[in-house]
Homo-oligomer: A and B are copies of this chain.
């Protein structure tokens, strides 16, 4: 059926051990035999069986990534960053997605057992406790965008607090007082942090956060669009600026404003969060908070490798915060002279 190392050994008239040694350059082999083995291997188009190799070596040269979803540019950037980093050390990527709840994550983690050397887990909607209990014993894991978790080798998060504060401060400097906020999904860790950040920053700036100005979304464009319409429909006091918890929603809100013929940034300012690639290509180009998502992924992968190579130092619940900085484009302007539009 499929060609194995024994076939190569037989045809090259050597033992399987020698073939293995030649192929992995793991021990000296006489030039003549090496050449013969390589010749036969190439001729037979031999490729070692990964499972067998993993089993024998007790290392898979692969890392698993567990994600809640795969929709949108955030994940594609994240994966790209991860992939870039792990490929440098000859590893491959196992991706498992659409695991929102604790049970799903637990199943995914179990399925990875024995096929990967370590795990990158992003499960922002799963509580720390259930996440901790889902992590397997002997498998180092790095948590993305969630609080440090017992049992995890490390956790990487975005500086949500710093980012939100920068945004609110910036808007306040432009004269805005009525700043609305479009939330992310209720149980999402990042979403929560950004909401808290917004609240804190508002207070710090001496502004009042009004219940009606905090509307919720779920991180995708359409929910941003709905939230935008919702804000426009407000009777009475109206916001002069909208801060969306991520770019996708900001883009959606932008569309809603555009449809309603509300001028951005003339009549309404808008800010996003993440700086996904398209943020600079919408009109007006979106002012947002730059999070180097690919770097976030790469950093997490690097942390995982450290934990892999040095289990003691790596296991210490390391914690890394990647910076989030304001990038000003064209979606914000000074507070309109007449605070209420139309």
Residues on A lying within 8 angstroms of B by beta carbon are 1-3, 45, 47-55, 60, 62, 70-73, 75-76, 79-80, 83-84, 87, 92-98, 109-115, 136-138, 221, 251-252, 254-255, 258, 277-278, 280-283, 285
Q: In the complex, which of the residues B54, B73, B96, B285 contacts A72, with contact meaning CB atoms closer than 8 Å? A: B73
The answer for the CA separation of A115 and B52 in the assembled complex, in Å, is: 9
Which one of A72, A83, A281, A282 has the greatest number of beta carbons of chain B within 10 Å?
A281
A96 with B97: CB separation less than 8 A: no
The interface residues of chain B lying within 8 Å CB-to-CB of A115 are: 50-51, 54, 62, 115
Instruction: Write out the residue numbers on chain B whose beta carbons fall within 8 Å of the beta carbon of A60.
Output: 51
CB distance from A140 to the nearest CB of B (A): 12
Measured between alpha carbons, how far is A282 from B79 in the docked complex, in Å?
24
Would you call B72 and A113 a contact (CB within 8 A)?
no
**Chain B, Cβ-Cβ closest to A96:** B92
Question: Which of B109, B113, B137, B278 interacts with A251 by CB under 8 Å?
Answer: B278
Q: Check A48–B113 contact: CB distance below 8 A.
A: yes
19 pairs of residues in contact across A and B, judged by CB atoms under 8 Å: A2-B137, A3-B137, A47-B109, A47-B114, A47-B136, A48-B114, A49-B55, A50-B113, A51-B52, A51-B115, A55-B55, A70-B83, A92-B96, A93-B95, A251-B281, A254-B281, A255-B281, A282-B282, A283-B283
Q: Are A87 and B95 also in contact (CB < 8 A) when A2-B137, A111-B50, A115-B50 are?
A: no
Give CA–CA (A45, B48) in the complex, Å. Answer: 31
Task: Say whether, besides A92-B94, A277-B72, A281-B255, A114 and B49 are in contact (CB < 8 Å).
Answer: yes
